[in-house]
Structure 1
Amino acid sequence: MKKIHLLILKSFIRPFVVTFFIVMFVLLMLFLFKYIDDLIGKGFQWYIILELMMYASMTNVAMALPLSILLSSIMTYGSLGENYELVAIKSAGISLGRAMYPMMIVVTMLSIGAFLFSDYMLPIANFKYYSLLYDVRQQKTAFLISEGVFNNSFPGYSIRVKKKDADGQTLHDVMMYKKEENSDNLSVLFAKEGVMYRTPDDLFLVVKFKNGVQYIEEKGKNSFNPRQQFTRRRFASTEQKFDLSGFKMKRTDASEWRSTIQMMNLKQLSLSQDSVAKTLAKSTSSNMSMMAPYLKYFTMLHKAPKDGTLKPMPAVELKGKELESALPQAQSEAQSLREMLRPMAERYAEESKTVRKYSIEYQKKFTLSAACLALFLIGAPLGAIIRKGGLGLPVVVSVIFFLLYYIIATIGEKSAKEGSITPAMGMWAAIIILTPIGLFLSYKAANDSVLFDTEAYKRFFNKLFKRKAVQA
């Protein structure tokens, strides 16, 4: 390998690794900001949070990898241009295309790795991430008793504490309501103080009440006496156990998530799409036979013709009473047919949308690799043109182009889901639009273009205005 190629590779690897982890960190912070309320205060072990963050980071690779390739390629060639190293390379008789040759090999390898990741690793990461996130969000809070509010964490109980000490265990001015299920019994307890603690096996929360009174209202002991019984009991100390089994994190069955589209690889997506497409075709072909009982054979063919064309039936002229009786009958038949076709149309639309979703996810496995190549074709020549390294102008330019790619890809995906365009066209729209831009920038960079030179634009407009003034 030539020393120039080694120099360019070394100049690319460092900013690529740095920018990749920076983008991953930013996306991870966005994830934490979004789900911070579902993570804080639920008593999770540290490794549960770490595991969830790891899976969330893996799902963000599809966005972080293209952006880091774009940014690092702009920084690499921008730094080489700023330090006049590209000028030295060209003066040695090496074209920009040859200078990009090792980078193309590296980016191609990264693209192949991105495809393998999206096909093999990403479905597993999505499965682990969404299932764990669902269980985390379903978990009850660990702050069982808070100050100044009625806490209903325990079924059948409502507890209000006026004040809690700094130790989190000593309570003051406690009020507890108890309502038994399937019973009219009602118990209210007031205590000046209380202490709560967990049992050593962490299965129960014990609250010990001190210096209080308890009021219990229940039915009379004799069934023939409708009067209720009221009991007042004063105590110096009493305690109540609360079951904590409902606050333990429970994992849902893995089979509930296996059929989700994001958890499938290419083979599973293809099989599932074919299965839904066959079901859709079968239901479509059976629509004619289902419509037949609602139609008369002399006004509508009872089966579709072989050539696929429907010929108009000869018109029948009705007069008088026949016309008066035919109109209500036709209206009734049309109403019945419409009621029958409505669920069929809804089912057809839903199954068609499912087929499009499978096709969109299938195309996503390839667009990630193509996006890496397309954004590199933009980043490398763009860095050679602007000739600025570091994290200043390259960051601004890369964010603009990445937003352009992301917006086009999002609009294309949404349009494909709605059926406005084909899934292939929707998912590849951003690549189709950006690739010619990358080729154009590569051509301009290879010919030492002044595409971003403000002085060149000033000279052009000055000449243009002077020409107009002379003509005037």
Structure 2
Amino acid sequence: MFFLFKWIDDLIGKGFEWYTILELMYYASAANVSMALPLSVLLSSIMTFGTLGENYELVAIKSAGISLQKAMRPLFVVILMLTFASFFFANYMLPKANLKFGSLLYDIRNKKLSFLIKPGVFNNDIPGYAIRVDSKEEDGTLHNIMIYDHRENNGIPKIILAKEGKMSKTSDGKFLQLNLKNGIQYEEQASKNGMYNPRQVFTRNRFKETWPRFDMSSFDPSTTDPNAFGNSTPMLNLKGIVKKRDSLNKQLDSLNIRTIATFTSNFKQFNTAKGYTKVKAVPKEINDVILKSIPNGSRKQALDNASNTVANIMQHVPNWVPRQTDLMGEIIFTTVEYQRKFTLAASCILLFFIGAPLGAIIRKGGMGLPVVVAICFFLVYHIITTVAEKSAREGNLNPIFGMWIAVIVLSPLAAFLTYKATVDSALFDVNYYKELILKVFKKKQK
């Protein structure tokens, strides 16, 4: 359903073969195993032990001197086998499925160019351009087109607006051609000396029809790195994730070393900073207003030097901060994906020890109450996992702790339910609570 909600409008009725769509759905379904498998373990364990309790088979088992934990051992062995299978699936099969899905989706996008464009969203897949359309038809016709050309002109974009257009490839397949109709092109000439000029040239051209071309070399498989898809973190196994994380850490260390060296050079410039001069002098106490500690004749020069130093630093900050943020985000993401391989396996064991005691306590089988209880507990597990993962991805939570927090929070609940089921607790028995309430009221009446 997730796959259909996201892609069905771009696949159905666009000329794709039915088996291509089924193949995409098959590869996309592998990613949903991490959600479906824990829920199926929880639901099946509740239904199994609920049916045993409803038919008084648990009573017969316990009367034979077999405890609940001993009765759970054969199923626990099955769950362990399923746990190992889920780990190997997440480590070997899921990365390959993600790789197949990504490469097949790439081929589809390269075959049907209109698939690139999403209505109402700026698309940056073509280097140097940002393209937005209000709507598109099934035959590929685009309406209300806006194109930003960032390739030249010192960062000043050339803007093209058109009411209608249609995408096509040139005969050699090297260029994407847009047939635009009824539009306007705006272009502002960049200043030659880099200073703002209120009288600089602004050009506006109206056209009935034009055919701008876009270089498609970035979409050519022959010029694309064959490992471009395989280097994506969700498409790597544990060994590949560790290798990528080490590479990212080296890049981050190199970036920090270069940045520190650049910043330090600004403070070494006049050889007056502490630690960079051999002249020994008594340390001078500086008040809150630093300028008061500087002689009157040197204050202007000190201010100029300080502003120049800050200006030099600020030239590097816009380049350094985004790159560092991207590298830190990638490192966190690799840690999250590394831990995900293990949390999928651990969730199977955790939810089994929640579901089996619950089934023994509620003593209801079938698809009624067990389904409701299973969904409620799974929602708690899924919400905790999703919120913690998002916080970890944003850097607000340790990624290892964030991926395991659901297991940490729900493990005491599993132990509590197992204990209650072992001692035949009436935790979900409505009659027990009715009798308890009646006893309380009778004591108050006395």
Same fold by TM-score greater than 0.5: yes
Are 1:299 and 1:313, in contact at CA under 8 Å, matched by a contact in 2? no
Which residue in the other structure is 2:101 paired with? 129
Rounded Cα–Cα distance in structure 2 between residues aligned with 1:430 and 1:321: 65
Aligned position for 2:3: 31
Give me the whole-angstrom Cα distance separating, in 2, the residues matched to 1:420 and 1:458.
Answer: 45
Larger-Rg structure: 1
Q: Provide closer, same or farther for how the CA distance between residues 322 and 50 of structure 1 changes in structure 2, counting only shifts above 3 A.
A: same
- What percent identity do the matched residue pairs reach? 46
Task: Select which of 237, 242, 259 maps to 1:287.
Answer: 259
1:69 and 1:437, CA in 2 relative to 1: closer, same or farther beyond 3 A? same
Deviations 1:110-168 (A, max 9, x none): 0000000100100000111123234435525795499xx98846568799xxxxxxxxx
| 1:50 and 2:26 correspond | no
Please name the residue that 2:336 is paired with: 360
Q: 1:292·1:302 contact (CA, 8 Å) conserved in 2?
A: no
Alignment of structure 1 residues 302-381 onto 2, 5 Å: 314-315=284-285, 317-381=293-357
CA contact (8 A) 2:389 2:403 kept: yes
Aligned to 1:412: 388
Give the 3 Å change call, closer, same or farther, for CA 292–33 of structure 1 in structure 2.
closer
Letter in 2 for 1:374: L
In the aligned structure 2, how far is the partner of 1:140 from the partner of 1:333?
49
How far apart, in 2, do the equivalents of 1:152 and 1:334 lie?
50
Give the TM-score of the pair, scaled to structure 1. Answer: 0.67
In the alignment, structure 1 residue 424 sits paired with structure 2 residue 400: yes
Q: Give the aligned partner of residue 174 of structure 1.
A: none
Taking the TM superposition and a 5 Å limit, the aligned residue runs for 1:84-233 are 84-137=56-109, 139=112, 144=139, 152=166
Unaligned runs of 5+ in 2: 115-136, 142-162, 169-176, 182-207, 287-292
Farther-moved stretch of structure 1 (59-68 vs 360-369) = 59-68
Partners of 1:35 and 1:282 in 2: CA distance: 40
Residue 55 of structure 1 aligns with an amino acid whose one-letter code is Y
1:363 and 1:180, CA in 2 relative to 1: closer, same or farther beyond 3 A? closer
SS, match of residue 365 in structure 2: coil
- TM-fit CA distance, 1:59: 1.8
- 1:81 and 2:81 correspond: no
Select 1:401's aligned residue among 353, 358, 377: 377
**Residues 378 and 442 of structure 1 are in contact (CA less than 8 Å); yes or no, is this contact kept in structure 2?**
yes
| Residue 273 of structure 2 corresponds to residue 299 of structure 1 | yes
- TM-score, length basis structure 2: 0.71
Indicate the larger mover: 125-134 or 410-419.
125-134
Change (3 A) 1:469 1:342: farther
Distance 1:430-1:320 versus aligned 2 partners, 3 A rule: same
SS at match of 1:120: helix
Shift of 1:50: 1.8
Task: Measure how far apart 1:67 and its partner are.
Answer: 0.7
Q: Letter of the aligned partner of 2:402 in structure 1?
A: G
Distance in 2, matches of 1:399 and 1:392, equals 11
* Correspondence for 1:69 among 41, 56, 59: 41
How many residues in Structure 1 have an aligned counterpart in Structure 2?
Answer: 349
Q: Which amino acid is the alignment partner of residue 354 of structure 1?
A: E
CA deviation after TM superposition for structure 1 residue 293, in Å: 2.3
Change (3 A) 1:278 1:251: closer
Decide whether the 8 Å contact of 2:180 with 2:210 is kept in 1.
Answer: no
After superposition, give the CA deviation of every residue in 1:358-408 in whole Å (9 maximum; x if it has no partner).
Answer: 111000110000001001110000011011111111111111111111111
Question: Distance between the aligned counterparts of 2:210 and 2:425, measured in 1?
Answer: 82
Q: Compared with structure 1, are the counterparts of its residues 327 and 127 closer, same or farther at alpha carbon in structure 2 (3 Å cutoff)? A: same
Change (3 A) 1:300 1:291: farther
SS in 1 for 2:272: coil
Matched with 2:245 is 273
- Contact in 2 for aligned 1:55/1:125 (Cα 8 Å): yes
Q: CA deviation at 1:446?
A: 0.6
State the partner residue of 2:12: 40
Matched, 1:261 2:236: no
| Contact in 2 for aligned 1:385/1:449 (Cα 8 Å) | yes
Mapped partners of 2:343, 2:333: distance in 1: 15
Equivalent runs, 1:240-255 vs 2, <5 Å = 254-255=226-227
Identify if the C-alpha distance between structure 1 residues 326 and 258 changes in structure 2 by more than 3 Å, giving closer, same or farther.
same
Higher relative contact order at CA 8 Å, sep ≥6: structure 1 or structure 2? 2
1:401-432, CA deviations, whole angstroms, 9 ceiling, x for partnerless residues? 11111111111111111111211100001111
SS of the counterpart of 1:363?
helix
Query: Deviation at 1:465?
Result: 4.1
Counterpart residue type for residue 112 of structure 1: F
Contact 1:367-1:428 at 8 Å conserved across structures = yes
Q: Which residue of 1 aligns with 2:118?
A: none
Quote the Cα distance in structure 2 between the aligned partners of 1:151 and 1:348.
Answer: 40
The residue that corresponds to 2:434 in the other structure is 458
Which amino acid counterpart does residue 64 of structure 1 have in structure 2?
Answer: A
Change beyond 3 A, Cα 1:293–1:143: closer
Structure 1 residues 307-356: Cα deviation after superposition (integer angstroms, max 9, x where no partner): xxxxx964463232223432343233234323433432332222111111
